[in-house]
Amino acid sequence: MENNLEKYAELLVRTGINIQEDQILVITSPIECADFARLASIKAYESGAKEVVIRWIDEQSSKIRFDMAKDQVFDEFPEWIKTMLEGYAKKGAAFLSIAASDPELMKDVDPKKMSRQQKVMSQGLEAYRTRMMNNQNVWCVASIPTVAWAKKVFPGGTEKEALDKLWEAIYKAVRVDRPDPVAAWEEHQQNLNRRLDFLNNHHFKALRYKNAAGTDLVLALPENHRWVGGGDQGPHGKVFFANMPTEEVFTMPKADGVDGTVVSSMPLNYNGNLIEDFRFTFSKGKVVDFDARQGKEVLKELLDTDDGAKRLGEIALVPYDSPISNQKILFYNTLFDENASCHFALGKAYPSCIKGGDELSKEALKNEGANDSLTHVDFMIGTEDLSIVGITEKDEEVPVFEQGNFVNF
Ligand code: ZN
Ligand code: ZN
């Protein structure tokens, strides 16, 4: 276990972030994960980091604040957070974030309060987030078990048992259980590249999704779309992995080119709330109808963020038969669940999904068909019977997915 912890910290710093000599590393970490954050900072210093800055998060305090602070604070943006994040970003810092929230901590918080807070934060941090989404800075999101999260995933047994099980599942997902994780990630990238080549070479103009749960929709793809996945090129041309794990290849649909209904296949942990058994109906790209068995109010708040929150910004393909999916664990954490399942995201599209998109202005991206929004929220739709057909420019139909898996791989 101890050995794996070292390997994991090293993997995140060297392969995930790919820290460079004299670079600053900003780690955002829950206080429960302090030991790991310290270990990661040691690994970063050993790899040449100039300085490691740790931004501690305490979700229990956030909950107390939601319950007890004066109402107007949820419409106020704390400037210091912008100064801090943008300041380091402009200095070329890399950002490692540890995502480990308690999936249900905020379930009794007024969803309106949360969405007001979310909105001012997204507005205030828009420039920072744009830098990340354009790969102007290197970033990586990864997870460390916490007791509350582990107990939600593995409810039976003791806290220690739950933690151990979640560690094991995470190590498997990020290939730390392999003798040489770095080599395993290189091989993984090769496999993703074969899928990317297949999709990019076909240059589909649309995809049609269908399954027995009721998903039946067509998504048009922008003329200049590209499929990406695995590592991204950072500002200095060095490869980094924005998510660890990552199993997806993804692109963007046309913001006004989605028609039909999509049904969720897993619960969505959104801001400490679970949204379950939900569906959206789209017309000309926009959600015109939606429902959820649980969390409908929270979902409504999400959709009401802005116009772009009612449209899709990402389409991602993950085989039903793949490493995380095969663990058959519901993680209640989007980083893991999205990499176990085909998914879409409501909200902002990644500019890198358009050829040369990282260099384009907001307006130019819009003209290419990219959706823009203050938000970007992934939700899972993959099932074991999902079929996806690609439609080429000559209107030929090419099977991409059958029975939940890539046809060719
Ligand atoms: Zn994704
Ligand atoms: Zn996403």
Strand 228-229 versus strand 249-251 pairing type: antiparallel
In this prediction, residues 286-295 reach a mean pLDDT of 97
Q: Does the residue 398 lie in any domain? A: yes
Written as one letter, the residue type at 283 is: S
Same domain, 254 and 348: yes
Rounded to the nearest angstrom, the distance between the alpha carbon of 234 and the centre of ligand 2 is 18
Query: Is 377 a member of any domain?
Result: yes
CA 315–ligand 2 middle distance (angstroms): 8
Let me know: does 283 contact 259? Beta carbons within 8 Å.
yes
> What pLDDT, in 10s, does the model give residues 73-103?
999 999 999 999 999 999 999 999 999 999 8
Find out whether 11 and 179 touch, Cβ atoms under 8 Å: no
Does residue 361 contact residue 214 with C-beta atoms inside 8 Å?
no
Share of the chain above pLDDT 70, in %: 100
In a domain, 66, yes or no: yes
Q: Among all chains, which residue has been given the structure tokens 């040369």?
A: 356
The answer to whether residues 214 and 361 belong to one domain is yes
Do 263 and 166 lie in one domain? The reply is no
Residue where a domain stops, chosen among 173, 188, 215: 173
Residue 273: what pLDDT?
87
Which stretches within 91-180 are classed as H helix?
Answer: 111-124, 126-133, 147-153, 159-173
Ligand 2 centre from 374 Cα, in Å? 13
> How many structural domains compose the chain?
2
Residues 145 and 15 occupy one common structural domain: yes
Instruction: Say whether both 249 and 164 belong to one domain.
Output: no
Separation of first and last alpha carbons in the chain: 33
Q: What is the DSSP letter of 340?
A: G
Residue 376 CA, ligand 1 centroid: distance in Å: 10
Q: Are 112 and 11 found together in one domain? A: yes
| Whole-number Å distance between alpha carbons of 90 and 127 | 11
Is the domain of 122 the same as that of 8? yes
CATH number at residue 23: 3.40.1830.10
Taking the whole predicted model, whether its pTM rises above 0.85 is answered as: yes
Please check whether residues 209 and 169 belong to one and the same domain: no
228 Cα to the center of ligand 1, angstroms = 10
Q: Is 359 part of any domain?
A: yes
| Residues by chain with Cβ below 5 Å of ion ligand 2 | 314, 345, 378
Distance 344 CA to ligand 2 centre (A): 7
Ligand 2 mean position, distance from CA 246 (Å): 11
Question: Nearest bound ligand to CA 378?
Answer: 2
What's the mean pLDDT in 383-391? 97
- Copy the structure tokens of residue 152: 């939600």
Read off the pLDDT of residues 14-35 as tens digits, 9 standing for 90 and up. Answer: 999 999 999 999 999 999 999 9
**Pair 129, 220 in one domain:** no
The residue from 128, 155, 173 where one domain ends is 173
Domain annotation covers residue 189: no
Residues 223 and 281 placed together within one structural domain of the fold? yes
Q: Are 36 and 1 in contact (CB under 8 A)?
A: no
Partner residues linked to 27 by β-bridges = 54, 96
Per-residue pLDDT at 272 exceeds 90: no
Ligand 2 centroid vs 378 CA: distance in angstroms? Answer: 5
Residue 265 backbone phi and psi in degrees, to 5: -115, -5
For residue 185, is it within any domain? no
Distance of CA 25 to the CA centre of its chain: 20
Q: Is 59 in contact with 101 (CB distance < 8 Å)?
A: yes
DSSP 24: E
CA of 343 to the centre of ligand 1 (A): 7
Output the CA 242–ligand 1 centroid distance in Å.
Answer: 11
Q: Which residues contact 116 (CB under 8 A, 6 or more apart)?
A: 74, 75
CA of 250 to the centre of ligand 1 (A): 7
Same domain, 348 and 395: yes
What is the maximal distance between C-alpha atoms in the chain? Answer: 60
> CA 338 from chain center: how many Å?
7
pLDDT in tens, 157-188: 999 999 999 999 999 999 999 999 999 999 99
pLDDT digits (tens, 9 = 90+) for 211-237: 999 999 999 999 999 999 999 989 988
Outline where 223-349 has alpha helix (H). Answer: 296-303, 334-337
One domain for residues 211 and 155: no
Domain range enclosing 14: 2-173
**Ligand number nearest to the C-alpha of 248:** 1
Instruction: Kindly list the distances between the CA atom of residue 216 and the CA atoms of 131, 265, 366, 404, in Å, as whole numbers in the listed order.
Output: 35, 14, 26, 14
